[in-house]
Structure 1
């Protein structure tokens, strides 16, 4: 369901972006199935494969703890709707967007990541971020 044809690659101001086409139009069951397929594709790839230029390679560039949270979200059926290298919040940040809220307030997150609940209707609802070597990377819902 989330094969290469489901992802659209674009060049943004901060770098390359990948958007999962039609993600918001999927039913909850189809979104969960697509999320499971995404998790399988990520786990099936053990390295960035230097020349790889796709959304999985972008996921593999995330710091370990944040990638672990991303996989947990996919395992829970939360669909990844986009990922890319952005000029925000820092020049080489990787930002991933999810279809639904994370639902992690009561769950234990790795100590390397932080949850921020924004709830701004003009921005986003919440994010989970990790800073490594001064570079912030983020999952957003």
Structure 2
């Protein structure tokens, strides 16, 4: 199958809206909400799947790491295997890190040369 045919069979997910994230944000923090809806669509889809499974948000910030403009989201539990499995089809990379000083695994997506991360 050619890359063009594969893309036609698996269109990118639509961007999430503020209403998608509101149930997962304490006191409807507008800064947190703005960051979450700024994530690339594939990473949003993976993050929402985790939140809907009950994986809690721990940290949401404009970290400017690993690149200026990078967004950094931390979750409390490991990713569900279903999230790991769907990630590549959404243009999201999954990586097992297992670094006791940082995190155990991450999902990342690059948009406009800037990498954005969801870690746990």
The match for 1:4 is none
Q: Say which structure is richer in strand.
A: 1
Root-mean-square deviation (CA, aligned residues, Å) is 2.1
Residue in structure 2 matching 1:55, options 32, 42, 54: 32
- Is residue 128 from structure 1 mapped to residue 107 from structure 2 by the alignment? yes
Higher helix share: 2
Which 4+ residue blocks in structure 1 deviate beyond 4 angstroms? none
2:77 and 2:38 mapped to 1: Cα distance? 22
Q: Which runs of 5+ in 1 are unaligned?
A: 1-40, 46-51
Alignment gaps of 5+ in structure 2: 1-17, 23-28
Asked whether the 8 Å contact 2:32–2:60 carries over to 1, the reply is: yes
Aligned partners of 2:21 and 2:53: how far apart in 1?
A: 18
Q: What is the CA-CA distance between 1:53 and the residue it aligns to?
A: 4.5
Residue 108 of structure 1: how far off its partner (Å):
2.3
Query: How many residues are treated as equivalent by the alignment?
Result: 95
